[in-house]
């Protein structure tokens, strides 16, 4: 079983308003991310909230996810959000998909390819790669979770990846969506569905 932690605790300072709740087709940015995970077969999903907590959690009322508040969200460290969400995943979870809440262009076939890569290799880390650049979402096997939980700023997830570089299994994908998130009003205008 694979679970997911969706990192949605940012303050959206560059966007100027809560980006997770911006409209995205028939749903919101965060709703689209969750829909992709559900369509990929993931059922145990924890969304970590912080900035605009009430709005983000409200936008998820109709989704089968659990929300976890990161009280240290103002520190703007992704590792703190991941550490808030990991302990809530179900005991049966063999790995955690780490997903950016502001990446609504992620695609079902990419998520499924990452899951398949883990099923076939049982690698400690599985990451999508587009034109030799690694992206999101990525997967961390349960044996790595204690190391994740022990990290503290200024250490970041980049430190984790560098420390375990030999354990990364890369999945080559043919879409730049693994590198594409929504940070600014211009990003939103450029990427949102027409």
Q: Is it the case that residue 194 has pLDDT exceeding 80?
A: no
Q: What is the mean pLDDT of the segment spanning 117-146?
A: 93
Question: Distance (Å, rounded) from C-alpha 163 to C-alpha 177?
Answer: 26
The b/e string for 106-132 (b: 16+ C-beta within 10 A; e otherwise) is bbeebbebbbebbeeeebbbbbbebee
Would you state the pLDDT for residue 166? 92
User: Hey, what are 191's tokens?
Assistant: 């990427």
Q: Give 71: exposed, middle or buried? Use CB within 10 Å, 0-12, 13-18, 19+.
A: exposed
- Which residues, in sequence order, are CB contacts of 149 under 8 Å at separation 6+? 83, 86, 87
Question: Distance (Å, rounded) from C-alpha 92 to C-alpha 142?
Answer: 10
Question: Distance (Å, rounded) from C-alpha 179 to C-alpha 168?
Answer: 17
User: Hey, what are 188's tokens?
Assistant: 């939103």
Q: Is it the case that residue 168 has pLDDT exceeding 90?
A: yes
Residue 163: asked if its preceding bond is cis (omega within 30°), the reply is: no
| DSSP one-letter code for 52 | B
Instruction: Kindly report the CATH class assigned to 2-191.
Output: alpha beta
| DSSP one-letter code for 132 | T
Per domain, the residue ranges of the chain are 2-191
Condensed to tens digits (0 to 9), the pLDDT of residues 67-78 reads: 999 999 988 889
Q: What is the mean pLDDT of the segment spanning 46-75?
A: 95
Q: What is the mean pLDDT of the segment spanning 37-64?
A: 96
Condensed to tens digits (0 to 9), the pLDDT of residues 98-117 reads: 999 999 999 999 999 999 99
E strands within the chain?
A: 2-8, 23-24, 27-28, 45-49, 66-69, 95-100, 125-130, 133-134, 138-141, 168-172
β-strand 168-172 against 125-130: which pairing, if any? Answer: parallel
């Amino acid at each position: 079983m694979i679970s997911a932690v969706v990192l949605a605790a940012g303050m959206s300072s560059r966007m100027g308003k809560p980006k997770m709740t911006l409209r995205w087709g028939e749903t919101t940015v965060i709703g689209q991310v969750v829909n992709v995970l559900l369509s990929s077969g993931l059922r145990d999903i924890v969304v970590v909230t912080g900035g605009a907590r009430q709005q983000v959690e409200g936008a998820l009322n109709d989704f089968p996810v659990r929300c976890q508040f990161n009280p240290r969200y103002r520190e703007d460290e992704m590792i703190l959000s991941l550490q808030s969400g990991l302990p809530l995943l179900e005991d049966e979870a063999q790995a955690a998909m780490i997903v950016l809440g502001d990446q609504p262009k992620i695609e079902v076939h990419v998520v499924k390819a990452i899951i398949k890569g883990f099923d076939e290799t049982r690698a400690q880390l599985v990451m999508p790669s587009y034109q030799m650049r690694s992206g999101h979402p990525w997967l961390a096997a349960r044996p790595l979770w204690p190391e994740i939980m022990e990290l503290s700023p200024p250490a970041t997830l980049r430190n984790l990846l560098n420390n375990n570089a030999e354990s990364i299994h890369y999945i080559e994908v043919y879409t730049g969506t693994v590198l594409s998130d929504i940070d600014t009003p211009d990003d939103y205008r450029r990427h949102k569905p027409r």
